[in-house]
Amino acid sequence: MIPFVVAGIVIVAATVVAIKLERRKPDAPTQPEHEVPAQLDRSDFAQPDAPWLVALFSSASCDSCATMRSKVEALASETVAVADIERGVQREIHERYSITAVPMTVIADDQGVVRRSFVGSATATDLWAAVAELREPGSTPGADAGGCEHH
């Protein structure tokens, strides 16, 4: 009987120690927030006179960027300028706007005010809907879904 009591005490003590050690674990490190520029100088991009700009900040080594590139390019029109700002080619633009995460897609108006943004991948539908809603408010159902809105 005594061996069972000793074994029970050892098990309880081990459980208490394990619980105390688990509680002493530090919190997970905070993750950096990636700032989206609020304003762009439209002269930094092609077609500065177009009413809208969809700019993709990308990197050649980023697989998600390649996917986003084709989605952004599909939005090009007379009224929507598109730009792929690849870090290896246009590092100074990335640095000027403090871009720390790619892909980052921003939609800016004719004054360069960033009106919508997507950090990371976005669906073609979300991109199209964001541009459509900005060009003609109320034109898309659920226009508040996805992305970040800037005023």
Given its phi and psi angles, is residue 137 left (phi above 0), alpha (psi -120 to 50 degrees) or beta?
beta
Mean pLDDT of 111-128: 94
The pLDDT score that the predictor gives to residue 89 is 94
**What are 39-96's pLDDT values in tens digits?**
999 999 999 999 999 999 999 999 999 999 999 999 999 999 999 999 999 999 999 9
Work out the mean pLDDT of the chain and round it to a whole number: 85
| Statement: residue 147 has pLDDT above 60 | no
Which structure tokens are listed for 10?
Answer: 């050892």
Assigned token pair, 24: 């002493």
Nearest to 129 by CA among 114, 113, 145, 118: 145
Q: Is residue 151 over pLDDT 50?
A: no
Give residue 3's pLDDT: 73
The pLDDT assigned to 22 comes to: 67
Q: What fold, for 42-149?
A: Glutaredoxin (3.40.30)
What integer is the mean pLDDT of 11-25?
69
Can you give the pLDDT at residue 51? 96
**Alpha helix positions (H), 24-141:** 63-73, 91-96, 124-135
